[in-house]
């Protein structure tokens, strides 16, 4: 009996008990022995000792059984609820957005640290509907910390939110599948400390270390680089590679090359409690982010900065509304410098622009948000004659020796007068001489003896009336001066136009860059490049190549828009006329001579507005376009001053630029 009882005790002397704190091993034998020896009446060797031990063991086992039952049955639902409320949450790991450099490795845009404040909207949903009272409490707490920092214009749209709850509800209504909504970005240390201190009253609110764009060259490059903005519902629907907490390119290169710059976001999982607070200090990365590619541009920032400075001064001195300037490689289409003025600081748009700043930009009559280099559509003035001369020579409408006489009393067959600029008279000239002195009458005679419809195909080859395809969003196409286009305008946007093309009046106005023809500064620098290289029109571009984290380079291919525009001989004669306009005996642009390189150019003064008492137009745009060096062309250029007076004002800007480029070894 003693042996049997002893074995029974040995087989059950240890029990494992499972509870919320894990598995505990309890030595029942040792525990019972201690109780047994402390029992009154205990004595060594007594046969009743085993009975007492059995009773004590039974009592202890019963207590343990009741505790387990309580955990499993009585408190089971409570424990299950806690377990279910501890969830695994996925978070996006933003990829490092690629940065941009000029052709010499100068950094043009960078990523700087920025702390964002987000709300997990699902923490405020009850059966799919937002708990407004709960969200209002959170909104009130955050507004007390943040003040009015969320009252910003969303990107370039006039949207202002009166409170945080209004912002969240509006975004949730527009984008119900957004799990995380950005409340504010670029938090400062004081705000971060206050938010963390108020965590208990801010369910579903979290702070995330991220980055934002910074543009060190501001106004100088804003029209090219553009800016980024927060992702919208429309973005998520149309762009497959975005997450709700990403940023997306809105304008400029940030938009044009957004996918390559953005990279691929990673993913991390965290265990969070019912309030959305992270239980563990470290998450588990399940997908490593892939950084965006860095982009190297064709721009030379030393030339870009100098051209911006010269244009800014030129606009001010000429009292122009604004202006644009471009310097381009004639053999590749690469843009060395492209500026527009006035412009804006693209840093203002990061994280949302203030209502006051946005209103100021919108109400500025000089229109700083317009990129004049690709979007200003205006008459070209006499610069247009360079294309007309080349086309007429190629078509055989004239030869190098064809002469017409410039007089001060020139009239059409119906008796209407037509004159040289400021009513000059240049006598008998050929095409080289006509380009040299910029004779209106020569080109009027040329088209009277030819046909406008025969000229139009050449203008199309030079890129007039269609976009160049430059890699900046927002380019405008201009307009070909043709009988068909005049009829279209008369029947649509310009009913004041006579829907008849007059072979003398309309044609003569068109070939000297007046009338209904419109061009952009980028079109001019491009056609000047085609004249310089004698027949190839390249697609202008500013992106040069991409480079990834491993140093792999992907070149942006050079593209040709049009080749063999005209015979080489036609180009050579037109180029001679442009050389003579700068360097000849009767040069009209002699201020571009003797700068250390030989320049060929043509000016234009495009008239618009009302006529004064003397019959002159009250307003004029100032143009100059050309190329250099003459013998081995490398760069083409165009300078435009909107309502900038005489073309000489544009020439002054280019004179300063060419002299500076020579002095600084840029040619």
Looking at residue 548, its pLDDT comes to 94
Are 79 and 20 contacting, i.e. CB atoms less than 8 angstroms apart?
Answer: yes
CA separation for the pair 657, 591 (Å, rounded): 12
d(CA 190, CA 491): 63
pLDDT for position 278: 64
As a whole number of angstroms, the distance between CA 574 and CA 381 comes to 17
Predicted confidence (pLDDT) per residue in 113-165, tens digit: 888 888 888 888 888 888 889 988 988 888 888 876 555 545 444 444 567 88
* Residue-level pLDDT at 332: 98
Q: So what's the pLDDT on residue 132?
A: 87
User: Residue 651 and residue 624: Cα distance in Å, rounded?
Assistant: 6
In the predicted structure, residue 78 carries a pLDDT above the cut 60: no
Model pLDDT, residue 211: 85
- At 25, is the pLDDT very low, low, confident or very high (cuts 50, 70, 90)? very low
Residue written as tokens 């044009």? Answer: 256
The torsion region of residue 184 among left (phi > 0), alpha (psi -120 to 50) and beta comes to beta
Query: Per-residue pLDDT averaged across 646-651, rounded?
Result: 97
Exposed/middle/buried for residue 587 (C-beta within 10 Å: 0-12, 13-18, 19+): middle
* 68 against 666, higher pLDDT: 666
Nearest to 542 by CA among 610, 479, 472, 477: 472
pLDDT band at 608 (very low <50, low <70, confident <90, very high): confident
Nearest to 294 by CA among 332, 253, 329: 253
Please say if the pLDDT value at position 20 is more than 50: no
pLDDT band at 8 (very low <50, low <70, confident <90, very high): very low
Distance between CA atoms of residues 202 and 194, nearest Å: 11
Judge whether residue 98 has pLDDT over 80: yes
Residue 440, pLDDT score? 97
Whole-angstrom distance, CA of residue 381 vs CA of residue 443: 12
Residue 302's pLDDT band, with cuts at 50, 70 and 90, is: very high
Instruction: Give the span between the Cα atoms of 458 and 394, in whole angstroms.
Output: 10
- pLDDT surpasses 60 at 88: yes
Dist CA 271 CA 269 (whole Å): 7
pLDDT at 26: 45
DSSP class of residue 290 equals B
**Does 345 score more than 70 pLDDT?**
yes
What pLDDT does residue 354 have? 78
For position 48, what pLDDT does the model report?
Answer: 57
Higher pLDDT, 640 or 183: 640
Asked if residue 68 has a cis previous peptide bond (ω within 30° of 0), the answer is: no
The tokens 């229109």 sit on which residue? Answer: 367
- For 235, the token pair is 């973005």
Predicted pLDDT at 11? 41
Q: How confident is the model at residue 324 (pLDDT cuts 50, 70, 90)?
A: very high
Q: Tell me how far apart the alpha carbons of residues 309 and 327 are, in angstroms, rounded to a whole number.
A: 14
Residue 356, phi-psi category: left (phi > 0), alpha (psi -120 to 50), beta (remainder): alpha
* DSSP H or E run through 444: helix 440-448
Backbone φ and ψ for 46, nearest 5 degrees, come out as -75, 135
For residues 468 and 532, what is the distance between their CA atoms, to the nearest angstrom? 17
- What would the mean pLDDT of 289-312 be, rounded to a whole number? 97
Of 172-186, 383-397, 499-513, give the lowest mean pLDDT range: 172-186
The radius of gyration computed from the CA coordinates of the chain, to the nearest angstrom, equals 39
pTM: 0.81
For residue 283, what pLDDT is reported? Answer: 75
- Would you state the pLDDT for residue 210? 79
pLDDT of residue 437: 97
Q: Distance from CA of residue 535 to its chain's centroid?
A: 33
Phi, psi of 292, rounded to the nearest 5 degrees: -70, 160
Confidence band, pLDDT 50/70/90 cuts, at residue 14 = very low
The upper half-sphere exposure of residue 257, i.e. CA atoms within 13 Å in the direction of its Cβ, equals 27
Model confidence band, residue 33 (pLDDT cutoffs 50, 70, 90): low
Q: Answer yes or no: is pLDDT of 191 > 80.
A: yes
CA 501, 503, 509 angle in degrees (round to 5)? Answer: 85
Domains located in the chain, CATH noted: 2-84 (no CATH), 87-218+265-296 (3.90.1310.10), 301-344+369-663 (3.40.710.10)
Q: How many helices (H) and strands (E) would you count in the chain?
A: 23, 27
pLDDT digits (tens, 9 = 90+) for 472-526: 999 999 999 999 999 999 999 999 899 999 999 999 999 999 999 999 999 999 9
SS3 call for 208? strand
Parallel, antiparallel or unpaired: strands 100-101 and 294-297: parallel
Please tell me the predicted confidence (pLDDT) of residue 41: 55
What pLDDT score does 172 carry? 80
**Could you tell me if 228 and 249 are in contact, meaning their C-beta atoms sit under 8 angstroms apart?**
yes
């Amino acid at each position: 009996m003693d042996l049997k009882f002893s074995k029974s005790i040995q087989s059950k002397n240890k029990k494992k008990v499972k509870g919320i704190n894990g598995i505990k091993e309890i030595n029942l034998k040792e525990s019972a022995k201690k109780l047994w020896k402390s029992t009154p009446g205990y004595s060594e060797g007594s046969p009743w000792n085993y009975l007492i031990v059995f009773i004590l063991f039974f009592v202890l086992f019963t207590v343990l059984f009741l505790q387990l039952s309580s955990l499993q049955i009585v408190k089971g639902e409570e424990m299950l609820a806690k377990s279910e409320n501890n969830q695994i949450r996925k978070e996006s790991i933003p990829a490092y957005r690629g940065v941009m450099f000029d052709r010499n490795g100068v950094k043009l845009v960078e990523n700087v640290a920025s702390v964002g404040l987000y709300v997990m909207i699902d923490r405020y949903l009850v059966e799919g509907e937002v708990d407004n009272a709960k969200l209002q409490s959170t909104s009130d707490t955050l507004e007390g910390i943040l003040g009015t920092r969320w009252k910003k214009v969303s990107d370039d749209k006039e949207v202002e939110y009166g409170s945080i709850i209004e912002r969240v509800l509006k975004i949730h209504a527009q984008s119900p599948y957004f799990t995380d909504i950005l409340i504010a970005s670029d938090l400062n240390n004081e705000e971060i400390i206050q938010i963390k201190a108020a965590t208990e009253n801010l369910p579903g609110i979290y702070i995330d270390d991220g980055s934002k764009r910074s543009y060190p060259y501001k106004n100088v490059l804003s029209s090219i680089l553009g800016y980024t903005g927060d992702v919208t519902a429309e973005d998520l629907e149309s762009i497959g590679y975005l997450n709700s907490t990403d940023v997306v390119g809105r304008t400029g290169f940030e938009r044009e090359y957004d996918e390559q710059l953005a990279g691929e976001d990673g993913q991390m999982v965290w265990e969070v409690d019912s309030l959305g607070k992270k239980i563990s200090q470290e998450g588990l990365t399940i997908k490593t982010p892939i950084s965006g590619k860095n982009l190297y541009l064709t721009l030379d920032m030393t030339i870009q900065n100098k051209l911006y400075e010269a244009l800014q001064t030129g606009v001010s001195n000429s009292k122009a509304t604004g202006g644009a300037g471009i310097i381009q490689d004639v053999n590749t289409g690469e843009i060395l410098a492209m500026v527009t003025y006035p412009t804006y600081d693209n840093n203002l748009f990061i994280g949302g622009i203030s209502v006051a700043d946005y209103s100021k930009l919108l109400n500025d009559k000089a229109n700083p948000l317009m990129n004049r280099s690709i979007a200003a559509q205006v008459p070209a003035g006499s610069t247009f004659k360079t294309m007309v001369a080349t086309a007429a020579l190629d078509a055989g409408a004239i030869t190098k020796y064809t002469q017409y006489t410039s007089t001060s009393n020139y009239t059409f067959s119906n008796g209407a007068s037509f004159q040289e600029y400021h009513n000059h008279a240049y006598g008998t000239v050929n095409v080289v001489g006509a380009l040299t002195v910029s004779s209106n009458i020569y080109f009027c005679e040329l088209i009277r003896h030819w046909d406008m419809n025969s000229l139009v195909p050449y203008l199309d080859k030079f890129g007039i009336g269609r976009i160049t395809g430059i890699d900046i969003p927002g380019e405008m196409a201009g307009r070909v001066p043709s009988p068909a286009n005049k009829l279209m305008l008369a029947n649509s946007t310009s009913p004041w136009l006579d829907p008849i093309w007059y072979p003398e009046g309309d044609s003569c106005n068109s070939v000297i860059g007046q009338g209904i023809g419109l061009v952009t500064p980028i079109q001019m620098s491009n056609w000047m490049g085609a004249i310089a290289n004698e027949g190839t029109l390249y697609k202008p571009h500013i992106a040069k190549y991409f480079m990834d984290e491993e140093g792999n380079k992907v070149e942006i291919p050079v593209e040709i828009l049009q080749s063999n525009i005209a015979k080489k001989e036609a180009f050579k004669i037109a180029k001679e006329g442009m050389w003579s306009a700068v360097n000849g005996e009767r040069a009209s642009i002699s201020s571009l001579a003797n700068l250390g390189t030989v320049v060929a150019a043509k000016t234009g003064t495009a008239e618009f507005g009302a006529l004064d008492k003397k019959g002159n137009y009250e307003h004029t745009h100032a143009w100059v376009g050309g190329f250099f060096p003459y013998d081995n062309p490398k760069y083409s250029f165009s300078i435009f001053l909107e309502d900038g007076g005489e073309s000489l004002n544009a020439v002054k800007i280019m004179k300063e630029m060419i002299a500076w480029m020579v002095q600084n070894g840029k040619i």
